[in-house]
Structure 1
Amino acid sequence: MALGDPGRALSGSGRTSSHPHAPAGAEHHAIAEGQALEIAGEAAAEERLAPARFGPLRGSVLLAVAVVLAALNLRAAVTSASSLLGDVRTGLGASATWTSLLTTAPTLCFAVAGLAAPALARRVGLARAIGLAVAVLGAGLLVRVLGGAGVMLGGTFVACAGIALANVLVPVVVKESFAHRVGLMTGLYTAALQGSGALGSALTPPLEGPAGGWRGALVFWAGLALVALVVWIVAARHRPAAEAVRGARRASWGRLLRSPVAWSVTAFMGLQSFMAYVIMGWLPQVYLGAGLSKGAAGVMLSIATLVAVPFSLVVPAMAARRRSQSGWNAGLTLLSLAGTIGLLLAPAAAPWLWALLLGTGMTVFAMAMTVITLRAGDAETAAGLSAMAQGLGYLIASTGPMLVGLLHEATGGWTVSLLALLVALVAQLVAGVLAGRPRLA
């Protein structure tokens, strides 16, 4: 019992054993067992009613700024290294296997470390947990440039563990502290997160020359994490915790694992991430195979990643006002389906149009984050649902780039890979419709 009264249980047990007329033998044991069960029941009830140590964070403009700054670190850490991957591999003398591990690290860390986030928040509080996540992220970004290939890989895993914790816990802040502005704050958070990926890939290569090489260019992003950490420490303050209950915390995982709503949200999150990582990893290669130049293929990827940013600012706020988000989820998925069909049938005919359709469809990430907060009835459920959806969802996502690459290598073309992507999008359509229904997990 964390916050109950252990002395009461002990004294209760003492009264039972010292009763002057205690019966003997089996009858005595039966009565004692019944009283023990009664005491345990009372203790459990006390624990369910006992206030948690930490209340929600105080919603403020400064906290909103801190959320956005935290989000700006959660993709740039990954894309900054990807944008200089050739130089990093050459400079470290690393193997192709090492490169595969480095590019797979993010999704695997997101899955594993993300599942531990709710327990960490319960132990130290949401403010400290997110602060720790940003600190771990910054430390990993700094460490990864200080040594050889092994240090680079280890630092990346540390940084991605910090990202995973923040990925799960920041939506809880949105749910708790901005309950009347869930759509707006989800839009700001996801737009900053998606924009950070574009910033990481766009700004890091130009920094390489002035910074004296790839190490100096990458260490810049550790500085951004430090800024986010300082603002977070100033902005994040807990409100009184009198309204929180500990029983909901203990019951949330069991309830979520039995909830069809939770599984539909998890499937939706995983499948849209599957699609997103395939697009970010392989879209330029699809366009190169269709005859576009390397520069043009890169521009198509920029279009696909950047177009979702403005839509992410407005779509969640509009969708959150509706009872159901199924229509939004389905509509955005259909855009991705249209773009993928275009790539399959005539990739070079209108490459910018397919990139626009795919990028607009990737706004579905903002919708996945929105339904996590809307399908949760309280902050504890939001934390558990966020951990489940992102932890298991990123396991699904991690198979995407590898599957598409293996199919391409086996067939020598992109037709089978794109057909597999269409199957995944149909599954995403179904999951999005189910996740958008107005039910609680």
Structure 2
Amino acid sequence: MLAGTTLLAVAVTLAAANLRISVTSLSSVLGDVQRGLTAGSAWASAVTAAPSICFGLAALLSPWLARRIGGGPAIAVALAVLTAGLAVRVLAGAGLLLAGTFIACAGIAVCNVLVPVVVKESFPNRIGLVTGFYSSSMAAGSAVAAAVTPPLETAAGGWRPALAAWAIPAALALAVWLFGARKDTDFVTDAQPQHAARNLLRVSMAWVFTLLFSVQSIYAYVIMGWLPEILRDAGIGRDTAGVLLGVTMVIAVPLNLFVPAVAAKLRAQSGVMIGLTVAPVLGVLGLMFAPAFVPLLWAILLGAGMAIFPVVLTMMALRTRTSAETTQLSGMSQGFGYLIAAGGPFAAGLVYGWLGSWTVPLILVLGILAAQATLGAIIGRPHYI
């Protein structure tokens, strides 16, 4: 298995920092990109849905890839694919930008599935803590990308170099991963007998996990994909809207550091799951009724809701008996969950295009949060799947 060294923990943290930058960097300047490419609202909706679609498809293939070439090499390949996608998507028109986003997100999807397995196998006594660092780094990276890309667009003279710049930290993460995991063996192959012994597709609680992952993803990607546009429609400037998206993402950093660790020590996590749904409900209500009144408060409340993601990842490890089951549950819940979730940001954009208002999409988000609280309460009960 992968050795639980400090260098590996650093490699995991750096990899995580790059797992949302393709989304938030683009969404923070999406209006400018759309106008620059003379693309329509359907294209913008497709771009915001692309991450979830690609995450789902690639996540279903991730366990197979890990078994074929090993978990560590699979993550290295994924980081290389992410770097390439970020670099090439700005080189031509709307079609290549969409394709490059798909390529980048394919790399992200493999990391999404396999990095939690690295954490369970390599840091068995520190699952909550390392998951907290992993998810906090992810939130911090996405926050920086959201806040920095708009002013970087101004400084660099356009959105193309501003977006292309995010290939640099991805390449750095790849280099550190290659060094940090270079001497370790395959953590997936070792667990192959147990992996083959049970088909989670026939386990009802695995499907509850999948639905939970899908609804929390719908919430996250509607907010990440459309919050700047919601704020700009309320009269808030481009740079300020980008910074507020950054606030939404960065507020999860301190929460991600301690909430998974606390949740991992509890016998049941139902109360944590329900509690993490209250703040985003208030944030969505703020966007509906007074988006420009105290937008910083709405951004903070929305960001607090993002802290549910690392708790779900932690519970994948807590609710499974072996790392092979963790791999299978992670691949299943993220694969099918992201595919289900892809309709969320796409539908939000289309409904806005039809009605010219964000009220109905935000009402749907409130329904998604209600489902999240219900499913989280079920998953939070102490039992193995």
Query: Does TM, scored on the shorter chain, surpass 0.5?
Result: yes
Matched with 2:336 is 392
1:314, distance to aligned residue in structure 2 (A): 1.1
1:209, distance to aligned residue in structure 2 (A): 5.1
Task: Report if the CA contact (8 A) 1:376-1:382 is conserved.
Answer: yes
Task: Report if the CA contact (8 A) 1:265-1:371 is conserved.
Answer: no
Instruction: State the aligned residue count.
Output: 384
**Counterparts in 2 of 1:436 and 1:287: CA distance versus 1, 3 Å:** same
Q: Distance in 1 between matches of 2:379 and 2:231?
A: 33
Amino acid at match of 2:152: L
> Do residues 332 (structure 1) and 280 (structure 2) align?
no
Matched with 1:145 is 90
Secondary structure, in 3 states, of the residue corresponding to 1:59? Answer: coil
Matched with 1:303 is 247
1:166, distance to aligned residue in structure 2 (A): 0.8
Q: Distance in 2 between matches of 1:321 and 1:419?
A: 35
**Counterparts in 2 of 1:408 and 1:141: CA distance versus 1, 3 Å:** closer
2:297 paired residue among 353, 373, 376 = 353
1:246 paired residue among 156, 176, 192 = 192
1:440, distance to aligned residue in structure 2 (A): 1.6
Q: Distance in 2 between matches of 1:122 and 1:310?
A: 35
Secondary structure, in 3 states, of the residue corresponding to 1:358? Answer: helix
Secondary structure, in 3 states, of the residue corresponding to 2:342? Answer: helix
Equivalent residue runs for 1:186-201 within 5 Å: 186-201=131-146
**Counterparts in 2 of 1:110 and 1:345: CA distance versus 1, 3 Å:** same
Q: Distance in 1 between matches of 2:102 and 2:348?
A: 24
TM-score (norm 1): 0.79
1:81 paired residue among 26, 37, 53 = 26
User: What are the Cα deviations for residues 29-82 of structure 1, in whole angstroms up to 9, with x where unaligned?
Assistant: xxxxxxxxxxxxxxxxxxxxxxxxxxx201100000000111111111222233
Q: Distance in 2 between matches of 1:102 and 1:361?
A: 23
Matched with 1:118 is 63
> Do residues 430 (structure 1) and 370 (structure 2) align?
no
Deviates more, 1:107-116 or 1:277-286: 277-286
Secondary structure, in 3 states, of the residue corresponding to 1:179? Answer: coil
Deviates more, 1:217-226 or 1:345-354: 345-354
Runs of at least 5 residues in structure 2 that lack an aligned partner in the other structure: none
**Counterparts in 2 of 1:371 and 1:115: CA distance versus 1, 3 Å:** same
Matched with 2:314 is 370
1:377, distance to aligned residue in structure 2 (A): 1.4
1:291, distance to aligned residue in structure 2 (A): 6.1
Q: Distance in 1 between matches of 2:150 and 2:238?
A: 16
**Counterparts in 2 of 1:245 and 1:205: CA distance versus 1, 3 Å:** closer
1:89, distance to aligned residue in structure 2 (A): 4.2
Cα-Cα RMSD: 2.6
Deviates more, 1:185-194 or 1:346-355: 346-355
Secondary structure, in 3 states, of the residue corresponding to 1:116? Answer: helix
Amino acid at match of 1:136: V
2:345 paired residue among 401, 405, 410 = 401
1:228 paired residue among 153, 166, 173 = 173
Task: Report if the CA contact (8 A) 2:146-2:242 is conserved.
Answer: no
Amino acid at match of 1:312: N
**Counterparts in 2 of 1:387 and 1:63: CA distance versus 1, 3 Å:** same
**Counterparts in 2 of 1:173 and 1:422: CA distance versus 1, 3 Å:** same
Structure with bigger RCO (C-alpha 8 Å, 6+ apart): 2
**Counterparts in 2 of 1:287 and 1:94: CA distance versus 1, 3 Å:** closer
**Counterparts in 2 of 1:146 and 1:412: CA distance versus 1, 3 Å:** closer
1:295, distance to aligned residue in structure 2 (A): 6.0
